[in-house]
Amino acid sequence: MSDEPLSLELAALIASLHLSDLAALGDSRKGKARQGEVDDEECACAMYASELEAVEQVEADRRFALSFESAGHADGPVLDELSAQEEVASYDHEIAVAVSRGRTFEQARRSATASRSSSCSASSRASRSTSLTRPSTSSPSPGLDAPPVPPLPSTSGPRAPCVICTERVASHSAVTVPCADQHVYCAECLCALFRAATRDESLFPPRCDGVPIPVALVAPHLSPADLTAFEKKAIEFRTPDRLYCATATCSAFLGPTSETKRGVECGSCGAQTCEACKAPWHGLFGLCGASGDDEAAALLERDMHFRRCPGCRRVVELDTGCFHMTCLCSTQFCYLCAAPWKTCTCPQWDEDRLVRAAEVRVQAEAPHVRPAPQLVERMVEQLRVNHECAHRSWCYRPGGGQCHSCYNHLRGYLLRCRGCQMTACVRCQRNRL
């Protein structure tokens, strides 16, 4: 006979069989003893049955413990996620309370971050791991034949809020950009910025607070297709005077243009474009003339008072009162005469446009109230002084409104420039302005 101890599962099975035998034996002995008397045999059977039931209870407790441990491993990530969401909600609440008491958004954010760091360090010193929150992954004790459970990946560690979405992200998946404040981005927001920069030239190069973000920081998080698309667009956006396919349905980038009269074949549609006049190729001995796009641009200039950038020939429109234009290609020129900025004698702003811009910004602060004339006049003077605002100082402004940069409407809050009083969303303030 083997000297190895029985497993609890086998012992419980044997106990169950013995209990069945005792029940059958008890049924066969009914009526043989005197009424009200208990003989030694019946007492021994009762004691033995109690011991067998204890063995069954131990096995039942073991099965319950194993099922509870398995449920803890399965639900552990969900519990961690719910805990992280509660922490973010508490963090946002602290910021909102601090802002409502007169503190700036940046001060409130720093205070809440410091409070979170101190509370996390204190709780980590006082907390003890239990099988409820993190089940034990040690090997089972002798007599338990359950297989060992692999350890769960650790989700602990310092977490910092993303400067764009404010979600708290683990340090191993956060990206710190080289701006003055060393802002932290989550990989999702940083990838979204680089993907947007391939479609919107005003976001190129991707930057934070005016400092370009190296593509090497985001390359590990971008897909190969997104990385290739960004590198192609980077070549296009860095080209000052660009040549595009003259076929309107194609308009593929063909490289830099020059005054050389030659046809450049498009790799996408196969059509040829004249490098000198940017019109469809007319042959070496044909005359260069205005393309259809040039004629359409001339109509916009004549009828809508638009202008063409002297650098990239892009059509631009004056938005506010100042005639200082900065094109997407970084060319700065006068909107009235297209001369390089500060080389002409044209006035710096248009009074009517300046008043309309002031009315829009005053109206944004009180959408349902007619702008007061004195407030509009005060805003006009602020815009007159800060018509070349560099947008270097911002403050938090609670309440929804329209971003004056991307024109999206936000319901929660906006940022206000202390110089020109424009309102902007966090993304535009960090990555565009």
Quick one: 94 and 164 in the same domain?
A: no
Partner residues linked to 212 by β-bridges = 207
**Residue 207 belongs to some domain of the structure:** yes
Hey, what amino acid is at 18? Answer: H
User: How far are the Cα atoms of 71, 362, 366 from residue 369, in angstroms, in the given order?
Assistant: 57, 10, 6
Domain end, chosen from 171, 202, 237, is at: 237
Q: For the beta carbon of residue 2, count every other beta carbon within 10 angstroms.
A: 5
User: How far are the Cα atoms of 41, 110, 175, 411 from residue 160, in angstroms, in the given order?
Assistant: 73, 11, 10, 25
**Residue 300 belongs to some domain of the structure:** no
Quick one: 1 and 73 in the same domain?
A: yes
**Residue 283 belongs to some domain of the structure:** no
Partner residues linked to 402 by β-bridges = 409
Q: How far is CA 171 from the centre of its chain?
A: 15
CB contact set of 265 (below 8 Å; sequence gap of 6+): 271, 272
H or E stretch covering 257: none
pLDDT of 148 reads: 46
List the beta strands (DSSP E) in 48-180. 159-161, 168-170, 174-176
The SS3 of residue 334 is: strand
pLDDT of 197 reads: 92
**Residue 387 belongs to some domain of the structure:** yes
User: How far are the Cα atoms of 303, 304, 316 from residue 296, in angstroms, in the given order?
Assistant: 11, 11, 13
Q: Measure the CA–CA gap between 161 and 89, rounded to whole angstroms.
A: 12
pLDDT of 216 reads: 92
Q: Measure the CA–CA gap between 112 and 110, rounded to whole angstroms.
A: 5
H or E stretch covering 19: helix 8-28
**Residue 122 belongs to some domain of the structure:** no
Domain that holds residue 165: 159-237
**Residue 411 belongs to some domain of the structure:** yes
User: How many structural domains is the chain composed of?
Assistant: 3
Cis peptide before 212 (omega within 30 of 0): no
Quick one: 94 and 163 in the same domain?
A: no
Domain end, chosen from 192, 218, 237, is at: 237
Report the predicted TM-score, pTM, of the whole model to 2 decimal places. Answer: 0.53
**pLDDT digit string, tens, across residues 247-259:** 878 989 999 888 8
Quick one: 72 and 164 in the same domain?
A: no
Q: Measure the CA–CA gap between 117 and 106, rounded to whole angstroms.
A: 16
Q: Measure the CA–CA gap between 431 and 433, rounded to whole angstroms.
A: 6
**What CATH number does the domain containing 198 carry?**
3.30.40
- Residue ranges of the chain whose pLDDT lies below 50: 1-2, 124-156
pLDDT of 72 reads: 58
pLDDT of 178 reads: 92
pLDDT of 419 reads: 77
Q: Measure the CA–CA gap between 321 and 350, rounded to whole angstroms.
A: 5
pLDDT of 92 reads: 67
Long-range contacts of 90-99 (CB under 8 A, 24+ apart): 91/116, 91/161, 91/166, 91/168, 92/166, 99/396, 99/398
pLDDT of 29 reads: 63
Domain end, chosen from 183, 215, 237, is at: 237
Residue with tokens 């560690």: 157
**DSSP, residue by residue, 353-409:** HHHHHHHHHHHHHSTTSPPPHHHHHHHHHHHHHTTT-----EEEEES-EE-TTT--E
The SS3 of residue 348 is: coil
The SS3 of residue 324 is: strand
**Residue 209 belongs to some domain of the structure:** yes
**Residue 329 belongs to some domain of the structure:** no
φ, ψ for residue 39 (rounded to 5)? -85, 175
Q: How far is CA 35 from the centre of its chain?
A: 82
